[in-house]
Structure 1
């Protein structure tokens, strides 16, 4: 192992040869990079001894699996002087087909990287590396399916940043058994070991105390009062969500949380595909004028086939709602007053959508995750439930309410028209035409 490649905390992790290892590291400190070196080195050593070994890397999603292979395994293999063959292939389970990345060594050792779920965790007999395990969907089911895979003497490596207490990573990391080698490295230890990071700049930049404590200080956050747990949020993350280029021309539902001064102005765009709402775009701006807010919303209506839009009409939202209804139709734009009753309806409908996994949100969006987790349900003196979120520099759970408004917009079915649109095309933000489909709308003259 070349000491020049790694910081002391990474070298401690790589050099430990225990069969079961679990590490909790701060964000962007090289936990995947260090572990993939151990994987690549193990395959090289087996190859030099005329033997062979097998490793499987299970990542949060397909993009993360590819990054682990491209930025980790293949780079390390090259640095170690290994001659390998890299390729992609389809991996089929009973539920679906996945794209798997593979690296094969001359003597037959192989490394496979693919998205983690209970199905992909089965079917191998191999050493296993669980990357960002706390963020895997169904982490407990994955663990149940996985453990027999390594039961015949294979090694197991688990690394992650914390993600609340409701997942298997928390159970493993806080266990008091002697079987596991456990290592932690927060941002302070990483910087002390030489990692070039400006701690104060990062803390100010993340602008959320809970997110800072979890992502960088490795603290287990109490989720007792959180309306959406981190595990629930993670279960709806997808690496293809949040990309406007992925818009397929389907019906779109929009939520708008009006903000000025301290709070954010947020637009959430959800496209319905089947019975799932895919996040296509989240627009968040601070301290912008109402004219700019109006322009941003107009642009969303131009680029997407908006069926219905729900807007925060409370207080300063009265005029923006009125203006949007005048421009885009009162049937398509609905103002929602944030009364106690309406907030309960929005929050309940939003949580049910997450619980049923009928929504996909961007993967690894720290600001969004912190915002969704910030919302809390409390009981007032009269026993009436209320939803509150501590206001900080990141806003007042503004992304959460915009998301819930968009979900609420999708709750009313589209109205079918008796005529066909003629020659009308929309364009997405790259100016590519998207054909408007007849029969979807919320009111007069939508197309």
Structure 2
């Protein structure tokens, strides 16, 4: 068997046999080779047990096979066999290596359940890329409680994961039981890594960087830097470049519309009679020639967000961002229909996935399929929506309010490679940003203009009952309504500004 020469940094790593070891190494520097070599060496030196948790079945198989190669180099009869791993009365398929001295090495795809089980040493491979990394960590740690070792290796994947937290915390420890190691591509070359081109000739890191052609990917994959932007689909810099401090996401007419919608809902609850129309907004309050609308629908867990933009000469300026948290669908219908009824609204796109189906169908039935489109949030559709939005922002054709909540929501969306040539777009659900509800509402509004025709020609009086103004006035005339909301003053102020 050919002898593999270790690099200087691999030799240093092999000598560092502390209990807790974390490595942040560049891609293609041999970190998995190094980690599995240590596991094989430990199992050869004593009877022990190791568990290798990888981000997927294919990677788990690869790691176990690499470990078996090392074991055979010691002369051990190491065969990879199918086995089982028990955890909380559940059994999982696993790959195992059983050595003559009684040592065992088990390979598993990582999840919070497989992280539980028997006591053992643990190796977390590419831990920054493990889904539910915090839950895996919480389930895993009791496994090593009784003096077992822990090895963690990964390239970075932003800062929103347990790997980043552990590296940051352990790097500050003045404790001989902990070790952290950062190795970028330049350190690796200086330590003996040989880079080759496709012809087998020596290459340099600069040639790799030029061929990669992506500064963020270079910083993350080869310089092993923790980048907030590494997985964010919309970077903070891009979002900031589209912000306009003069834009108000809550225009003067919005409180009055929301108050009227609530009044209508209370009246409905008392009478159980649906109003003849849900359209109660004076169209004169929004002065724009072409409006586009996007609505991401939620009810209890997520926000409903309506994003309204005005388009002129290819530039989309945000007119309103309406967030409805735990709001009954009756009220959502009033707000949505009032905006769709505006004669300048060219097209609206509505999330019709799950909860949104009924509201989307009602809007299409009321205003027509040419003006309203229901969008199923399939992976393909979400990719189209996200990419269209980013392209518009890259071209600086979108103007956003400079608001922290909006900024955080837009930045919260992450793009993940599915391994099939497509990407998955998702975000963690938080109280601050919801489930990227602002992002998807804006993406829907942007998509509404993708194939839009001329502005709707019908006047609002042709789309609503003749008495719609009288009904709206009557609702607003309830005792204390205008005084509590200041709606009358807001109307006057809005008209004065428009003049």
* TM norm structure 1: 0.52
What's the offset of the Cα at 1:307?
11
CA separation of 1:213 and 1:372: change in aligned 2, threshold 3 A: farther
* Aligned residue among 73, 80, 95 for 1:101: 95
Matches within 5 A, 1:29-68: 29-46=29-46, 52-68=47-63
Match of 2:12 in 1: 12
What's the offset of the Cα at 1:86?
2.0
Query: Does structure 1 conserve the Cα–Cα contact (< 8 Å) formed by 2:55 and 2:110?
Result: yes
Q: Work out the CA distance in 2 between the residues paired with 1:309 and 1:221.
A: 23
Q: Work out the CA distance in 2 between the residues paired with 1:169 and 1:227.
A: 20
Q: Work out the CA distance in 1 between the residues paired with 2:95 and 2:205.
A: 35
Equivalenced residues, count: 281
2:104 pairs with 1:110 = yes
CA separation of 1:135 and 1:217: change in aligned 2, threshold 3 A: same
Q: Work out the CA distance in 2 between the residues paired with 1:119 and 1:135.
A: 17
2:127 pairs with 1:133 = yes
Q: Work out the CA distance in 1 between the residues paired with 2:231 and 2:62.
A: 35
CA separation of 1:67 and 1:148: change in aligned 2, threshold 3 A: same
Matches within 5 A, 1:31-430: 31-46=31-46, 52-70=47-65, 72-91=66-85, 98-175=92-169, 176-177=172-173, 178=175, 179-197=177-195, 198-223=204-229, 226=232, 361-362=417-418
Structure 1 residues without counterparts, runs of 5 or longer: 47-51, 230-273, 276-305, 318-337, 342-346, 374-384, 388-399, 410-447
CA separation of 1:81 and 1:207: change in aligned 2, threshold 3 A: same
Q: Work out the CA distance in 2 between the residues paired with 1:223 and 1:30.
A: 26
Q: Work out the CA distance in 2 between the residues paired with 1:150 and 1:200.
A: 41
CA separation of 1:171 and 1:3: change in aligned 2, threshold 3 A: farther
CA separation of 1:118 and 1:307: change in aligned 2, threshold 3 A: closer
CA separation of 1:216 and 1:348: change in aligned 2, threshold 3 A: closer
Task: Name the one with the larger helix percent.
Answer: 2
Q: Work out the CA distance in 1 between the residues paired with 2:152 and 2:183.
A: 14
CA separation of 1:210 and 1:28: change in aligned 2, threshold 3 A: same
Q: Work out the CA distance in 2 between the residues paired with 1:313 and 1:140.
A: 33
Corresponding residue SS for 1:174: helix
* Structure whose alpha-carbon radius of gyration is higher: 2
What's the offset of the Cα at 1:152?
0.3
Query: Does structure 2 conserve the Cα–Cα contact (< 8 Å) formed by 1:134 and 1:160?
Result: yes
Query: Does structure 2 conserve the Cα–Cα contact (< 8 Å) formed by 1:62 and 1:99?
Result: no
Match of 2:365 in 1: none
What's the offset of the Cα at 1:90?
4.5
Q: Work out the CA distance in 2 between the residues paired with 1:313 and 1:224.
A: 20
Corresponding residue SS for 2:93: strand
Query: Does structure 1 conserve the Cα–Cα contact (< 8 Å) formed by 2:155 and 2:224?
Result: yes
CA separation of 1:310 and 1:64: change in aligned 2, threshold 3 A: closer
CA separation of 1:171 and 1:78: change in aligned 2, threshold 3 A: same
Structure 2 residues without counterparts, runs of 5 or longer: 196-203, 236-352, 355-379, 401-406, 428-436, 449-499
Corresponding residue SS for 1:5: coil
CA separation of 1:113 and 1:192: change in aligned 2, threshold 3 A: same
Deviations 1:295-321 (Å, cap 9, x if unpaired)? Answer: xxxxxxxxxxx999969899x99xxxx
